[in-house]
Amino acid sequence: MLTAFAHACYRVSDLERSIEFYRDKLGCTHAFDFVNDEGVRFGVYLKVAGRSFIELFTGLEGEAPPAGLFMHICLEVPDLEAAVAELRAKGVEASDPYLGSDNSWQSWITDPDGNRIELHCYTKDSLQGPWLG
Domains delineated in the chain: 1-59 (3.10.180.10), 72-128 (3.10.180.10)
Residue 60, pLDDT score:
57
Please state, in angstroms and rounded to a whole number, the distance separating the CA atoms of residues 102 and 79: 17
Q: What is the pLDDT of residues 52-98, one digit of tens each?
A: 999 998 875 556 655 555 778 999 999 999 999 999 999 999 999 99
According to DSSP, the residues that pair with 98 across neighbouring strands are 106
Integer angstrom CA distances of residue 65 from 13, 57, 103, 109, 110: 10, 12, 34, 21, 17
Q: What count of Cα atoms within 13 Å lies in the side-chain half-sphere of residue 7?
A: 13
Model pTM score: 0.78
